[in-house]
Structure 1
């Protein structure tokens, strides 16, 4: 047996007029982003924070943060520094948040650019640099950055864009249904619609006259 809450929810959903549902779709689309897009933006933020955390741990393990910052940032060396992997994460974060949170882009070209740049840079760095001879972080940072970039691509291409396209198609179907639906004007009913002839009084003079007229004809 359905609960009272579910019954009330179904009743309110079925009783909601089509123009009201159209306005709710339009208002929700203008005010905020979808839940799946918000999840994607949170994962992009996690990408930046996780790479930053790993880089700070690497700085602290290999001789102290201050000394390693001086070595990796001020005296940057492409073959030995992890600073560029951190900058790559910053680039992904800035580009994707700008494209998909601020501009609310509904296309895959931005994620394609960031993933292609990240993949090409990391593959070239692993081949040309000496990171693999610098311990566990030489493996961990490039592999983690590469995997996170492709997970972002998978999330956008297989989750965000298809779900938002489905919601947009549903919105268009509601719009077309609203255009086809007749406009029902609930006006005040006139008194004539409720008029009923007055009841005749029992044994009135008119009824008696009607009853005696045939008798008079027989006489």
Structure 2
């Protein structure tokens, strides 16, 4: 077969590919498409995603774990009642652990209010709690005398700082990106029927065809036939 010009081949290949894509659009099952849209809308109606719920659960764990360590510290240092009065009523910044518990309460209230109640989709709330917690814990470690009071002088500040930065990492790298991806996917699925409606239906295979190729010897045979007929005409 004679090779077709490159421009003609590109046009034919483009026509065939566009025809295939159009057939794929028309072959979408409307029932499956509506089921996917309803599933995404059902997730939106829940009000809070699974990954955000996990984040709120971890924030609650942060508060409970720091509270547990603080209660253990109260019991170790001479009984809960006496130590509680010493740390809360007679609060001393240089020797009390109560401000570390207060930071945990502050973090949990701000984060639950921002990301569970208000359903915030921004990082400013977690940035605020992380900055305040890190600054106060650093000042506490430098200025206080906690290291002279046993192991809890090391454990409580370190655990509180680690939990704070885990919350920041989880929200910034898990919660917000996944929710943005889910929202974009929902918009694409909802826009699929509209894009399909703009494409005219009833396209047949006959509308896109390739011209049949000619044989390599066809031109030569035509020339030979004309040459053989010339003597007969001259006679």
TM-score by length of 2: 0.69
What residue number does 1:87 align with? 102
Name the stretch that deviates more: 157-166 or 54-63.
Answer: 157-166
- Residues 1:151 and 2:166 aligned together: yes
Matches of 2:136 and 2:188, distance apart in 1: 44
What residue number does 1:62 align with? 77
Deviation, 1:138, is 0.3
What residue number does 1:121 align with? 136
Any stretches of 5+ residues in structure 2 without a counterpart?
A: 1-28, 199-235
Matches of 1:16 and 1:87, distance apart in 2: 53
Of residues 93, 114, 119, the one that matches 1:104 is 119
Of residues 16, 23, 31, the one that matches 2:31 is 16
Figure out how many residues of one structure are paired with residues of the other and give that number.
171
Question: C-alpha deviations, 1:175-213, integer Å up to 9, x for none?
Answer: 221222339xxxxxxxxxxxxxxxxxxxxxxxxxxxxxx
Question: C-alpha deviations, 1:82-122, integer Å up to 9, x for none?
Answer: 00100100000000011111111111000000000000000
What residue number does 1:169 align with? 184
- Whether contact under 8 Å (1:111, 1:153) holds in the other structure is yes
Question: Looking at both structures, which has the greater relative contact order when contacts are Cα pairs under 8 Å and sequence separation is at least 6?
Answer: 2
Matches of 1:127 and 1:65, distance apart in 2: 27
Matches of 1:24 and 1:154, distance apart in 2: 29
Question: C-alpha deviations, 1:145-193, integer Å up to 9, x for none?
Answer: 000000000000011111111111111111221222339xxxxxxxxxx
Any stretches of 5+ residues in structure 1 without a counterpart?
A: 1-13, 184-219
Q: Aligned-residue CA RMSD in angstroms?
A: 1.7
Matches of 2:45 and 2:144, distance apart in 1: 47
Name the stretch that deviates more: 172-181 or 34-43.
Answer: 172-181
TM-score by length of 1: 0.74
- Whether contact under 8 Å (1:73, 1:83) holds in the other structure is yes
Matches of 1:162 and 1:88, distance apart in 2: 27
Question: C-alpha deviations, 1:21-78, integer Å up to 9, x for none?
Answer: 3233223212231111111111100000000000000000000000011000000011
